[in-house]
Amino acid sequence: MAEESQEKFWDFVEANQNIEGQHDDTDQAYYDLIVKKASALLSSVQVNMLKFALSLRAYSATVHSFQQIASNEPPPSGCSAFFSVHGEKTCDAEGLTALLKTAPERPKPYLFKGDHRYAGSNPDAPVVILYAEFGKADFQILHQVISSKAHEGLVTYVLRHYLPVGPGSREKVYLSGYGVELAIKSQEYKAKDDTQVQENDPVDEVQGFLFGKLKTLYPELKEQLKELRKHLIESTNEMAPLKVWQMQDLSFQTAARILAAPAVDALNIMKDLSQNFPTKARSITKTVVNSETRKEIEENQKFFKGTLGLQPGDSALFINGLHIDLDSQDIFRYTHTYSHPYINIQLNLISSVSSDYAVDIRNPAISWINNLETDHRYSSWPYNVQELLRPTFPGVIRQIRKNFHNLVIILDPTQENAAELLSVAEMFYTNNIPLRLVIGLVFVVSNEDDIDGMQDAGVALVRAYNYISDEVDSQSAFEAVISMFNRVPVGGRLSVGDVVKVLEKRFPYVEVSSILGADSSYDSNRKEGRAYYEQTGVGPLPVVTYNGIPYQREQLDPDELETVTMQKILETTSFYQRAVYLGELATDHDVVDFIMNQPNVVPRINPRVLSTSRTYLDLSSTNDYARFSTLDTTEKSTAVANSMNYMTKKDDGYIRPVTFWVVGDFDKPSGRQLLYDAIKHMKTSNNVRLGMINNPSAGVSAETSRVARAIWAAMQTQTANNAKNFITKMAKEEAAAALEKGVDIREFAGMDVPLFKAAYEGPKFGFLLSHAAYCRDVLKLKRGQRAVISNGRVSHSLEEVFNQDDFLLLESIILKTSGERIKSKIQHLHAGKKGLITGFLIFCSAVKIRPKEGDVYFDVVAVVDPVTRDAQKLAPLLLVLKQLININLRVFMNCQSKLSDLPLKSFYRYVLEPEVVFQADGSFAPGPMAKFLDMPQSPLFTLNLNTPESWMVESVHTRYDLDNIYLQEVENIVAAEYELEHLLLEGHCFDVSSGQPPRGLQFTLGTASEPVIVDTIVMANLGYFQLKANPGAWILKLRKGRSDEIYKIYSHDGTDSPADSDDIIVVLNNFKGRIIKVKVQKKPDKLNEELLSDGTEENDTGFWKSLTRGFTGGGKTEEPKQEKDDVINIFSVASGHLYERFLRIMMLSVLKNTKTPVKFWFLKNYLSPTFKEFIPYMAKEYGFQYELVQYKWPRWLHQQTEKQRIIWGYKILFLDVLFPLAVDKILFVDADQIVRTDLKELRDFDLEGAPYGYTPFCESRREMDGYRFWKSGYWASHLAGRKYHISALYVVDLKKFRKIAAGDRLRGQYQGLSQDPNSLSNLDQDLPNNMIHQVPIKSLPQEWLWCETWCDDSSKKSAKTIDLCNNPMTKEPKLQAAVRIVAEWTDYDQEIKRLQTRVQEGTKPQGAGTHDPQQTHAGTAYASITLTNVSPLFCLSVRCSHRAVNSVMRQ
């Protein structure tokens, strides 16, 4: 409700102060009551969206954030609702009165952007925060007390929702809005653990047979029943491999199956076929594709490619013209898109426009002194924009022959400060320092026609500049201008004599008066300069713009100007780098055109128009003028809109996407002037229609409303053209003066006079009274106050000039953000019935669902290949949208031809429900849940989650190996549970002095009571950082130590605190996460110090302590930290029970052979609950330390979709940010390795300046020569005689690694190569080997890694570690190889199992064995995923078996 408007929020609160007793205490009754109450204030679409948001639990995070904020202000004893007055608390009226008296003695509390401030509160009065649960009796009492004081102006009243919940009483909540994938896994190498899982789940139903009961009744037939069940399942799930020729047309055949279905069923069929494709593929191959359908799809694909840039197989979704990103498909980001069909296009797009507006610098009035792209002096500089991506030292500006940085100085040469500004421009130009500036001048001088330059210094300078430019060049002209100003004494002004002296000296044989005089032929651009200045509205002279963005007045001091310009150049360089990186800017593009086509470039600067504070009218109701005074705010706006008559340039039925309502007293000069300027602009534009609302300065009477009544009468009775001509006359002052003198209105007519006169002289002033009431009640205008409403957006209190150029600016902003899309949508809606809509052929190649007649609807266009992951996600989303809102839907097929492989090798479920579901007893139904029914038994599956980008999810309970689900060996169901552990706070950080990311800078995140909860390190790529947080208010600071000793926070953006605040406050109150931008600056006495310098050590006590809280499992208390030189840090990753079994054995082998204390670092993302439950016991038994580290794959880095490749990525891509700066060296040891030596030797190994050391692949086993791919082709030429290294064991010098930005380089190379699916086939191994020339590798002695596949038997005896490499020749399973190759492996395995048995027989780890899965049918694989928060609040759980897989997400 608050997101709709604060007015509606408080209306809802007032109407529902106490609803106890109005329902029967069941969940459903309470839900129905709330929805009913809300529907009184919301439209039907908004009510549906409210139900959807409640189903998503979208506002659970908001409630939790208020709980976290309230936790810093614990309530007084015995109070379930209470007041907080500047930090002091009470829960009664008397206590409030007392606290208010002393409030001025205490500082005001910090208020957040999302706080609910009571309308009419006095901002200067003490702040009173009411913490209470809405709708309860105690809330009603306290609300009435505080609201009465707010009405009296005694307090600022703030309301925060607060639930007085006791410890442990919070229930976990199931979430939706995520996907679950059951992917078919390769069985080339057996990767399953042979440890048996105990089954205890009941019922197992397949096709009506209850096998659980049958086994009980007929135990002697157990084997036969098992075979029957297998047969029934496999008979409905054909998984036999297809021939290549059968797969070629699968995409078109699937589309044909969907298109052949009735429109009402088509989406369900698309959902079924795409989400269960592996078992549907065989039957789809029998589908015949109609030639007309194929031809139409191929014709449409030409259009997709030409207009949308879509290739066959690509997907896109547009809702009312707004592009929805299917890659992220974060449903929480798009729920508000669906609330209002048209206005939200503008709201969503306009919010993305930068507040740093720029004016267009492509104007002939600007005299450019230099041009980097054409001037000879820059010819030695490189021209390719890719140079921007080359690494440089921080603060170095690249010398590239492109006009990236354009400085324009607009000045009056006769002003005192003109000389200072030009001297700065001279310094930029003549010193040839690496400032790649293109400098332009605009001289603003007299624009009179006949003016003598011999009398006016400004005109003289312009003519002299033009003469020298023509005769010599612009550089010489600029130098002459500088010479002229060098003659001006300090504090003086330029004179004609100064200009004449320089001209006479440089051109002694030229008659000066012929250049400067009244008849001069060198007068070009004189008038244009002033016209450009006035048209752009950039403010008082002088003005300096950088790439069109005006500098602030205080930045025009010469010393400040130089510094600020350098800073802008460095900042803008990162913007260009990103554009080049993403392919938006290429060498053959015009850079200035690229800059000027950015959305922040406008034709004119007007703070009133460009203000980021925006108020919009709600026009979504359906009322007219009848009973106007009884209507609410929304209905009054709709009534005015429905009755409005418009003027346009021509009466031609042209669609005009820009609507202006001009508000003013048209019987006053100011109102008429605003109307006249609006009419002048309207006559120049085919995009605008103009409506008028009269806001009288005094009471309405015949004498005070002559012009207003005349305008209204003309619009009501005359043709559009006659009315427009008449109103144009009425807006002129001479017409108003004539009427004042008694001239008959008919003198101005030229139209149907009788009709007009009847309307004009009528006795009723109803429309005028309604307009006056509308201005007062809805627009909140004072009498006679002017305003302009553009497409529903209100610009208030236009006391200053608002002219024709400002209307042009308004039109430009609207067209750029939403207008063209609105126009396009309306054109499509009005298109003919010839089958052509938006350029697509839709006779038979699209699913079409028409909207309900007579109701507002959304226009939804989807383009999809039905056999892609996008189709798996898109079909359920469209089905839910169809239930939520009235839609005009077209789904166009974008098929691929000549497929050579099965396009989809996974089953998929997208968990989304349109509204909350209840059980028969009125309680919440368990779920939402993703169910995988009738799963085949033969494949090996791996379970993956596809969650919103800001979610960090972990598995918290399952008995099964979710990485290797083999339903053939499962009697009943596979169950698992996940939790939404954290929401991500992301950001980008830059040093304002260098423009570069401050690598190694650390931030801490905490609260007022606990300042350090988690920490992070800033990455070199884009200055990126991420922090794990939860709903609530958080404080971001530089970490104590070198970070806050060297740096201070300069500014921040996207936060909840003022930009100049030292403490950065960020409120997370939804599931969308947050991205912020932080700028830092070195302290004056630390300018030459570096964070990552070799001679400094970090004081890490605070950091390590916080890591214990932030990363470790089970909340264990970390033992006192050893000196870091005495601890060996070992990093490893594992996924699946088999590799976790190997991992435990690897750890044991390390501990048995290493005398130095060991600390293990495990990637938490993919560890099973079983491993996380057992590891504390193993740590206690063997005396080692461990940390569970976690990092979310950044959204800007190319995503991998296959789990194994994601894990490989984590091994190499984030080494610089995964570990604290205190860790100098880290050893990576693969899970399937056995260590036979003390690893202290490897840690202390001299890497000779390289950032890391790897072992080369063995080459002694000659029979494997045919498999050594690195000996020929690309790798042989790339390595140029160097070794190809294996990634199973390596040592990283993290200090060196960070210092040379190795992580930055590796990620940059990965980003480029990973776009090609055929690149980096062994990502963790290929990437460092590919980068061997940029990031050198120290080759470790061969003995450090022995692998039977590549090394001969004789070298085994000297092996320090043994790796269980896959053998491409024998494909021997890992377990079998381990027992055969490593003599001690079985002993280690048995030792671990004995410890596991002791643990199971003793006290179970907390949380183990407590999961009570819902009863499910046997043979059903459930994925019930419980996403939990801070105190596990948000959860998911998963179950799998032959018959079904069920997936639930809980909050």
pLDDT digits 0-9 by tens, 664-722: 888 888 888 888 888 888 888 888 888 888 888 887 776 677 788 888 877 777 777 77
pLDDT digits 0-9 by tens, 633-657: 666 777 777 777 888 887 666 777 7
Q: Residue-wise over 1302-1341: b if at least 16 C-beta within 10 A, else e? A: bbbbbbbbbbebbeeeeebeebbbbbbbbbbeebbbbebe
Q: Output 44 or 749, whichever has higher pLDDT.
A: 44
Integer Cα distance of 660 and 691 in angstroms: 6
1445, 907 contact by CB (below 8 A): yes
List, edge to edge, every strand of the sheet that includes 787-790: 615-616, 793-795, 787-790, 658-664, 688-694, 647-648
Single-letter amino acid, residue 792: G
Residue 590 has pLDDT above 60, yes or no: yes
* Mean pLDDT of the 274-302 span: 88
* Mean pLDDT of the 53-65 span: 85
Between CA 675 and CA 681, with CA 677 as vertex, the angle to 5 degrees is 115
Residue 936 has pLDDT above 60, yes or no: yes
* E-strand stretches of 912-1063: 929-933, 940-946, 951-958, 965-966, 976-991, 1002-1006, 1014-1017, 1024-1029, 1032-1038, 1047-1053
Residues counted in the chain: 1451
* E-strand stretches of 369-479: 405-411, 437-443
931, 41 contact by CB (below 8 A): no
How sure is the predictor about 1144, in pLDDT bands with cuts at 50, 70 and 90? very high
Integer Cα distance of 143 and 117 in angstroms: 13
* Mean pLDDT of the 320-344 span: 61
Q: Please give the biggest Cα pair distance in the chain.
A: 123
Residue 1228 has pLDDT above 90, yes or no: yes
How sure is the predictor about 1360, in pLDDT bands with cuts at 50, 70 and 90? very high
Residue 1115 has pLDDT above 50, yes or no: no
Query: Which 3 state secondary structure label does DSSP give 1326?
Result: helix
* Mean pLDDT of the 1255-1264 span: 88
1329, 1279 contact by CB (below 8 A): yes
Query: What global pTM score does this model have?
Result: 0.68
How sure is the predictor about 239, in pLDDT bands with cuts at 50, 70 and 90? low
Average pLDDT of the chain, as a whole number: 78
* Mean pLDDT of the 176-195 span: 72
pLDDT digits 0-9 by tens, 436-493: 455 667 776 667 777 777 888 888 888 888 888 888 888 888 888 888 888 888 778 8
Question: Locate tokens 């191929």: which residue?
Answer: 298
Query: Which 3 state secondary structure label does DSSP give 907?
Result: strand
182, 943 contact by CB (below 8 A): yes
* Mean pLDDT of the 338-343 span: 43
Residue 1418 has pLDDT above 70, yes or no: no
pLDDT over 70 for what percent of the chain?
82
| DSSP category for residue 1002 | E
How sure is the predictor about 184, in pLDDT bands with cuts at 50, 70 and 90? confident
Integer Cα distance of 588 and 358 in angstroms: 24
How sure is the predictor about 513, in pLDDT bands with cuts at 50, 70 and 90? confident
* Mean pLDDT of the 1242-1269 span: 89
Amino acid 1157: pLDDT: 93
Written in H, E and C, the secondary structure of 1077-1093 is EEEEEECHHHCCCCCCC
Amino acid 1412: pLDDT: 32
Amino acid 1236: pLDDT: 93
pLDDT digits 0-9 by tens, 862-907: 999 999 989 999 999 999 888 888 888 889 999 998 888 888 888 9
Amino acid 1237: pLDDT: 92
pLDDT over 90 for what percent of the chain?
11
Provide the CB-side half-sphere exposure for 1052 (13 A, CA). Answer: 23
Least reliable range by pLDDT among 197-206, 944-953, 991-1000, 1077-1086: 197-206
Amino acid 235: pLDDT: 55
Amino acid 1020: pLDDT: 80
Q: How many helices (H) and strands (E) does the chain have?
A: 47, 55
Amino acid 819: pLDDT: 55
Least reliable range by pLDDT among 797-811, 1236-1250, 1405-1419: 1405-1419
How sure is the predictor about 1440, in pLDDT bands with cuts at 50, 70 and 90? very low
Query: Which 3 state secondary structure label does DSSP give 1017?
Result: strand
Amino acid 821: pLDDT: 58
Residue 242 has pLDDT above 90, yes or no: no
Query: Which 3 state secondary structure label does DSSP give 560?
Result: helix
* Mean pLDDT of the 1063-1069 span: 87
Amino acid 1099: pLDDT: 40
* Mean pLDDT of the 1327-1353 span: 90
Which phi and psi angles does 1225 have, rounded to 5°? -135, 145
Integer Cα distance of 128 and 89 in angstroms: 10
Least reliable range by pLDDT among 139-143, 569-573, 741-745, 1029-1033: 741-745
Residue 1361 has pLDDT above 90, yes or no: yes
pLDDT digits 0-9 by tens, 530-579: 888 887 877 788 888 888 888 887 778 776 777 788 778 877 887 888 78
862, 875 contact by CB (below 8 A): no
Amino acid 859: pLDDT: 84
Amino acid 1131: pLDDT: 94
* Cis peptide preceding 104, ω within 30 of 0: no
